[in-house]
Amino acid sequence: MSVKGKELTLISPDGRRLDGRRPDDIRELKIKAGILENAGGSAYVELGNTKIYAAVYGPREVHPRHLALPNRAVIRCRYHMTPFSVEERKSPAPTRREIELSKVIRESLTPAIIVEQFPFSAIDIFIEVINADGSTRCASIIAASVALASAGIPMKDLVAACSVGKINGVLVLDVTDVEDKNGEVDMSFAMMPNRNEITLLQLDGVLSLEEIERAISMTSKACKEIYEKQKSALKEKYIELRKAVEEGART
């Protein structure tokens, strides 16, 4: 493999990847809850160079009304990549891939939301990819889950997500853009860690049964680590809110 005429070694003989990570390492993850003032709930996620905002509105009235369901809330999700999020400027118009990922992310999150509490209503999730460097659907799920919780939407559990790829026959976690484009396999995985329930398993490529089992084991472990960071971000938000309320009461 080569990039602009130079030989590209995706994984070295000692198991190091281009960014120095081991196969089972994820990139540095930063999560901030309640980052947007005008949304019901929001979150910002940095997963390496992948940067994403998520905002949640609702529950609110459904328009048009005939789309409302009498026994549960309607979950709507829009995944969008900003024109400057990739190397070559992307058209602002929604692409087929964005429409597909909107559906994938919605279906990954819906099992965690207690939709029965809000009949005849809608919960809207908006995701903006500010900078894309691989694993954007997984980072979007991480951000949207925290945004839902920060909005006070009743949930069975948070949803954590992580990707796994295959490079030169080696399974690696949290693939970057160059690894995704030049690797052999890309698998997206999401779960509710506390309930040990899988909400997404999407595979692009071919893996043996043994490799699938190992990939699920790797991503499950990573999701549990991500889950702790999601909870920490939400705790930090409410600690900040409590301090603000206490300071306001003193003044």
The residue behind tokens 């990707």 is 163
**Residue ranges of the chain whose pLDDT lies below 70:** 1-8
What's residue 24's pLDDT? 95
What's residue 13's pLDDT? 86
Q: Please, how many CA atoms are within 13 Å of residue 66, restricted to the half-sphere of its CB?
A: 0
What's residue 6's pLDDT? 42
Q: Give the bridge partners for 162, in sequence order.
A: 189
What's residue 249's pLDDT? 75
Both tokens assigned to 85: 């999020």
DSSP state of 140: H
Domain ranges of the chain: 21-250
What's residue 2's pLDDT? 37
Task: Looking at the structure, give the CATH architecture of the domain made up of residues 21-250.
Answer: 2-Layer Sandwich (3.30)
CA quadruple 223, 224, 227, 231: dihedral, nearest 10: -170
Which of 181, 182, 220, 217 lies closest to 199, judged by CA?
220
Each residue of 174-225: pLDDT tens digit?
999 999 999 999 999 999 999 999 999 999 999 999 999 999 999 999 999 9
